[in-house]
Structure 1
């Protein structure tokens, strides 16, 4: 499929932001563990899980309100740009030497900027392509994001691992990786900023002053909540998404921290996650093509079932570096597909002119799910002192999500047969 210029530029932002996502899930937890000296393995998992929880809570509270404001014509790019620049500045700030807790605070704020920009980025999808092309374009975004993010990551990894031989200490090399990643993020964001035009949005009338708009945001949010509640397809899907994406996000955000707590060598952890990116590139594209043949919901169901197996494997069998490599490859096979198809399927079932507000609620369900997942891992690990039991708790959420998706699939087939 040949992509338009705007579709290509939209995909390029995935290439840019994925570099920071990869750094955050691989190098950053190891760096945090290194500067947080004296803490036990359980304490490190709890601290990292708590940081993820705080970031997710803040984003979940902000997005529906800001989404309602951004749905006015021309506002989407402004909010996107604001959060992107916030995340970029704080990404670069992480290169400054500081205490472990100060670093964690900067990391949380950077994560808020990054993930908030991605919410507005997701909401651009209905503006830059058609319903028929959404699965393919969304999957390409994740696919090229996975493979593209490996370029700065390999540079950073070479600097971290080879720096000492050149007289560059490992800690300094790690800090320089934030600068390299931030520069990559900026370069691949500029084309989207220059070419994006909001296609769907509410026109701002003479009565829509700033005070009127702000004052009406909360009533608009309540109105959208009622719309979602009355739309059974959207409601069931969002609740299912709430549960199953929890497993996906928690595995992604906690994998390196969990592996480090088990005593697996940091080099093995990082290299294994690099392999995940290469595996995820063709897998995400294949997922997009298969969705067109067997159905988007069916492919999401396959991915959720696979994640159940991944979580069980991590909880019961993950002990050595080899097993972490197996885990990384399994994640790569399904991670991009489930994320891409979840994004594109939602874009097809919502009103296009209110995409920001709906994606704001979509983000709430995703972020609060992440809160629940990381919270469960932190609490169970803290109570038992056993990180494996914390990981196991994720499986329950995946099972619930799978059951709800299966129900939605039955509802969809019944509606098609009745039509």
Structure 2
């Protein structure tokens, strides 16, 4: 880490901070806890999985609708950090709120989870956009991949602590119910998230911006409209976004629905949690490997590799019926999960005009989040129609194939860049 600047390290540390939320709330403990609460309330397992998918879709739809205009406003001087902090607080405080939801209120639990998702993903719009303010274009693949690697390592610590508490409660070694143990995990996640976000809030600032002007909201809509009028100028960017829309849809859906799917095929919570912990450990070096290989072969080639692996995952998941199969699936995800997300972020950042980074990352978010609406919805509908979660996850293969084809038409970004100066750059 010594070769990175203070701003780069502070930016990376937010991955360390927020990845605990991604693992505990999005992927592992919360879905299992929710499924348990819903089952105790008499909800059919396949139906509760579908409702979880719909909740994810609703939260991401709301944010996706707001993202472009929020991003355009945030390009004005001083707004990027304010928007980041607002969504950051919404996410962390809502995560604390999960602790206080009564154990028989499965619908209220979904509503609170919806708020945590809006907060976490909203903050990530502006966090991702900050990459143009902290490093040069030719270092973005490396910095972005390193951030994801730190995220996997950092999230493992609160995850291990949470798992330890749950296992000790499950075995009766400590006098806690599973409900209490899960709530402690939610609280630990919030504290971790808040604590390690401080370096970014303190040390990272908006270098590229548009000077403020009267009627900011009105002019933001005008600037947004101008971008659409000039879409031919940004054809390559929007073509990448279209490809990203499809393949990241599958990635996010597999991440968010994996434990619910595992529950439906009869896997124990212990099997799934331990496998997911292993994913965090294995994914860290693979994220760095993707960044390293991107230097040699290019980010676009490595995105192809990630898409191919996820396509195979969809096929393999259709036949999963044991803990061993879930382990194989988890390790396959670990090889490419961080890499495909990190390189998508840096590949896009290398293409966008720095002074309009928030506006374009607003589009990046809307394409990614609308994808996150359609993916869980597709899986939920397919599961309900067929009565099989296996068919639901297999249906995601369509998204990876379309994403791969579209990506072939995207031109590589120009990596020529100059070193960052400490002075602000305005337009």
| Shorter-normalised TM range | over 0.9
Q: How far 1:229 moved relative to its partner?
A: 4.5
Residue 79 of structure 1: aligned partner = 83
TM-aligned CA deviation for residue 231 of structure 1: 2.1
> What is the CA deviation profile of residues 301-338 of structure 1, one whole-angstrom value per residue up to 9, with x for unaligned ones?
111011100111112x2111110011000000000000
Alignment of 1:128 onto 2:134: yes
In structure 1, the partner of 2:346 is: 344
Instruction: Say whether 1:45 aligns with 2:49.
Output: yes
Q: Give the whole-Å Cα distance in 2 for the aligned partners of 1:130 and 1:230.
A: 23
Residue correspondence of structure 1 range 18-417 to structure 2 within 5 A: 18-24=19-25, 25-36=27-38, 37=40, 38-98=42-102, 99-163=105-169, 164-204=172-212, 208-209=213-214, 212-315=215-318, 317-408=319-410, 411-412=411-412
Once residues 121 and 292 of structure 1 are traced to their aligned partners in structure 2, the CA distance between those partners, rounded to angstroms, is: 23
Q: CA RMSD in A?
A: 1.2
Asked whether the 8 Å contact 2:287–2:339 carries over to 1, the reply is yes
Distance 2:126 2:16 in 1: 16
Normalized against structure 2, the TM-score is what? 0.93
* Matches of 1:339 and 1:356, distance apart in 2: 18
Deviations 1:142-190 (A, max 9, x none): 0010111000110011111103311121210110111111110011001
What is the deviation of 1:232?
2.2
Give the direction of change, closer, same or farther, for the CA distance of 1:62–1:268 in structure 2 (3 Å limit).
same
- CA distance in 1 between counterparts of 2:250 and 2:177 reads 36
Counterpart Cα distance in 2 of 1:159 and 1:77: 35
- Classify 1:228/1:341 alpha carbon distance in 2 versus 1 (closer, same or farther; 3 Å): farther
Q: Distance in 1 between matches of 2:267 and 2:43?
A: 17
Listed as ranges, the gaps of 5+ residues in structure 1 are: 414-419
Query: Which whole-Å CA distance do the structure 1 matches of 2:134 and 2:232 have between them?
Result: 28
Contact 1:244 1:400 in 2 (8 A): yes
Displacement of 1:115 in angstroms is: 0.6
Shift of residue 360 of structure 1?
Answer: 0.3
Match of 1:95, SS? helix
Alpha-carbon contact 2:101-2:108 (below 8 Å) kept? no
Tell me the equivalent position of 1:15.
16
Of Structure 1 and Structure 2, the greater helix share is in 1
**Uncovered stretches (5+) of structure 2, i.e. residues with no partner:** 414-427
User: Distance between the aligned counterparts of 1:289 and 1:19, measured in 2?
Assistant: 25
Tell me the secondary structure at the aligned position of residue 209 of structure 2: coil
- The CA distance in 2 between the partners of 1:42 and 1:116, in whole Å, is 29
* TM-score, with length taken from structure 1: 0.95
Residue 412 of structure 1: how far off its partner (Å): 4.7
| Conserved? CA contact 1:229–1:235, under 8 Å | no
Distance across 2 between alignment mates of 1:300 and 1:248:
12
Structure 2: how far apart are the matches of 1:169 and 1:227? 58
Q: CA deviation at 1:407?
A: 2.4
Superposed CA offset, 1:257-294 (max 9, x none): 11111111111011111111111000000110100100
Q: What's 2:423 paired with?
A: none
Q: Find the counterpart in structure 2 of residue 417 from structure 1.
A: none
The answer on whether the counterparts of 1:44 and 1:261 sit within 8 Å (CA) in structure 2 is no
* Contact kept? 1:138, 1:341, Cα under 8 Å: yes
When residues 360 and 117 of structure 1 are mapped into structure 2, their CA distance, relative to the original with a 3 A threshold, is: same
CA distance in structure 2 between the partners assigned to 1:133 and 1:397 by the alignment: 30
1:322-357 Cα shifts (integer Å, max 9, x gaps): 100110000000000000000001001010000001
Match of 2:421 in 1: none
Q: Distance in 2 between matches of 1:58 and 1:254?
A: 19
How many correspondences in the alignment?
Answer: 405
3-state secondary structure, aligned to 2:99: coil
